[in-house]
Every structure is written in C-alpha cells, then in structure tokens.
Amino acid sequence: MSFTTIEFMFRFLPIFLIVYYVVPTRYKNMILLIGSFVFYAWGQHFYLLLLMLSIVVNYTFGRLIGERRSQKKPLLILGLIYNFGLLVFFKYTNFFIENINALLTATHIQIPTISVVMPLGISFYTFQVVSYLVDVYRGEQRPVKNIINLGVYIAMFPQVTSGPIGLYSELEPTLLRRHCSVLNLESGLKTFIIGMGAKMLLANPMGTLWAGMSRYGYETLSCPYAWLGAFGYSFQLYFDFAGYSLMAMGLGQMLGLYVPRNFDHPYISGSMAEFWRRWHMTLGRWFKKYLYFPLGGSRCSFAKTIRNTFVVWAFTGLWHGASWNFVLWGLIFFVLLTIERLGLGKLLAKTKVLKHIYVIFLIPLTWVVFALPNMQDIATYFSRLFPFFADNTASFVNTKDVIRALHDYWYLLIACVVFCLPFPSRWYEKHKNSKLVILGLVLIYLMSVYKMQTQTSNPFLYYQF
C-alpha cells in the first residue's frame, strides 16, 4: 500500500486514526503495531512473516547483547549476519550471479538466477534495526524489554517502506510518553498534505517528462532536451522522496511520535559535502555513525581518510540498488568529495554564486547515472548532453523536442525551482494558521486526490531501493 492511493487515504488511514485516538494510551502501541502489519501486508502478504521474524529475532539479540556483556561481540556479529544476510540474499543474489556468469561466459558455464521479489522496505528497516543492535552493544541504548515497542520502531507504517532511517533513542521518548491531541492531528495533516502535493503535483509530472526521454530514444534527443530531462529527473527524485518523507513526518505528528527530518533544501547547496548534509540526511547519518567513524573517519592519516570515504561511497551506491550504475554513481561522489577535500571546497566557500552553479551543473549529471541501469544508455545520454565531444552539431539544431516540452511543462518547472528554495517553507511556517494557507492546503488536497484517481501508476521511486 502507498500513501498516495485511494485505499490508504479513504479506507486505511481514517479507520486506523479513529481506533488509535479512541483506545487508551497504554494500548496505542499495540494498535499501531497491528495497523502497521495490516499496512505492510496489504501489498506483500508473505513478507509480513519476514518482518515479524525480524522483530522477534532482533528483540532477542538486543536482550542478549544487553544482558550477556561478556558475549556481546559474538552476539552482535550473529545479529549483523542475520540482518545483512537477509538483505544481501533478497537484494543482491541475482546481481552476484549475473556478474559471475559474465566472468564465466567463455567457459559456457552459467549459474541460473533465482526468482525472488525484494521485500518492501527491507533496506530501510534493516538499517534501523542494525543501528539499534549496535547502540545496545556500545552501551548507548538500553535493550528494549517490551517487544511491542521494538516492533513499532521496526514496522511503524509511516517509516517502514521508505524511511526516514530513525534511531530508537529518538523515537523512545514519544513512544513511551506520547501526546495525542487535535492540534497534533491538525499539524500532522498539514505536513502530510504538503508532502502529498509535492509527490502528486510536482514529482509525478516531472516523471512524465523524464519518461519521455526513453520513449523518444536517447540517441535522438537534442542537447537542450537532454539537459531539460536531466533537470526534470532531478526534480522528480527530490519531490518524490522529500514528499514521502514529509508525509511520514506528518503521520508521525498525527500519532504523537517523532519522525526525523530527511531533507533540508539540498539543491541550494554550495558543495557536494553540503549537498549530502542536506539530502537523505538520515542515511548519511547512518553511514557516518556506523561505518565512517568506526573505520577511523577523518581522524587518521590522509590516505586512510580517503580509503574510508571510498568504502562509504561504494556501499552507499550499492545500498541504493544491485546494479553497476549505482556503484558508479557512488564512486562519482567519492571523487567529487575527495577533490573538494583537496582544496576545491575552500575555494568554493569563498564564492557566492559560483558554488551554486557548480552544484546545479553537476547534480543533474549524477542523477542521470543514478537513473539509467544500462551503461550504454548512460554513454548515449551523455553524448547528447555534451554533443561537441561526439562531434554531433545536429544536436543543437534540432530543438523542436525541447520547445514542445517547455510548452507543456514550463509552469511546473518554475514551481519546482521555487519550491526547492527555503523561502516557501519559511513563509509557510510564519503563516500556516492563516485562512489563505488553509485554503491553499484544501486545494492541494483536492488536486492530489484527483490525480490519484486519474493517474494509472504513481509509486514512490525509493520503494525500489
């Protein structure tokens, strides 16, 4: 089930909220866990058992690590093997088999791939529960004694499918002593509607623009149209995932629970380092806390710091998907961040405009690599972006495609640019209780529901990760 479906909006959510608000506080976690199971099972009945098993197994590991301190290291290792083992099996098995088969092509020996569907949200809830086990191991978190509370942390429906990747220590205060009120419900509903509008009214139309690239064929694109498509996909990805994260935050507010912020206007950044402090903030925090710092972080020799950065970005790329384009995408950021560390970052910091041009120019290029799993398609697309390297001057002449696209999407592109900036958010926070804002939210809600009914497909992009 997705947040942006009629089933969720008019069947699941209203019934769940009525029950949730009616039951006494001591039963709310139980109701939330049951509701989360229903939400998850709506789309993947079989893998609900895997999610339940994850709760039971990690509850057991957490208690054992906390109580048997002399054996905590082997227990943690077993817990990591269990969680990452499932993630690797479901997400990467066929990737490994396909690459082994490529190496064995000359021998005519081929290993058959397996038929397996990746469980929804496994990348996100695996990282969440691993953070819990490691924090218990480090003594930063007490083992959870109530399995229902841990189950809510792992399976809570606002987060289970696409994050944000929270820490148990962040959720625990509101999980144990929550405050549910009409004001929380109203505030959360407003946040939810803004996220829904970002997804339905901005991300999805930009997705249509990007989808047109493949329909025409990348080799036929004019240079301006290729650039427009790259920016279109950049907007689609941002408003799709940021919209989901806002909806998750809004649902958390409705439930009286804390859901961390995941985006902070990343497209206004002045460097790649700043961009990754603002984009998918909880994922960046996870890799920093549980991989980069344990490797030594930047508090070691320059060579080891570069090594640590390389490891983090190789795994960041692989986390997003079992495909070489994701690995390449991660390594591109490793190179860019290393160049900034070598001195470019300090030079950019001294400029006011150039640093933003640098980010605005490079980020869409990285998203092209992220979006296209086929290396040949990536090469073809870049040949359209930079036709002078391919001696293809016709790409500048035949620009009817971009003229048609601008005619259809110009107002949406302007809206995307505006809503990437901090000003609309600041204005909203200042005037969110005004009648004008309330009217605007009602219109966004009605337009979004209309889009839900008329669009044939609108899955969140990060569901596939």
Indicate which residue of 265, 280, 320, 356 is catalytic.
320
Dist. CA 332–CA 370, nearest whole Å: 10
Dist. CA 428–CA 350, nearest whole Å: 31
How far from 283 is each of 186, 272, 317, CA to CA, in Å? 28, 15, 12
| 254 close to 185: Cβ distance less than 8 angstroms | yes
| 191 close to 253: Cβ distance less than 8 angstroms | yes
How far from 125 is each of 30, 305, 362, 427, CA to CA, in Å? 19, 29, 31, 34
DSSP 158: T
Dist. CA 46–CA 233, nearest whole Å: 33
Contacts of 330 (CB under 8 A, 6+ apart): 313, 314, 315, 316, 317, 318, 320
| 256 close to 178: Cβ distance less than 8 angstroms | yes
Residue 190, classified by CB atoms within 10 Å of its CB into exposed (0-12), middle (13-18) or buried (19+), is buried
Tokens 């220590």 belong to residue: 169
Dist. CA 379–CA 332, nearest whole Å: 15
Dist. CA 178–CA 200, nearest whole Å: 31
| 154 close to 55: Cβ distance less than 8 angstroms | yes
| 278 close to 263: Cβ distance less than 8 angstroms | yes
Residue 259, classified by CB atoms within 10 Å of its CB into exposed (0-12), middle (13-18) or buried (19+), is buried
**320: annotated active-site residue:** yes
Dist. CA 291–CA 297, nearest whole Å: 8
The H-assigned helical ranges of 198-301 are 204-216, 223-255, 272-278, 281-287, 293-295
Active site residue ranges = 320
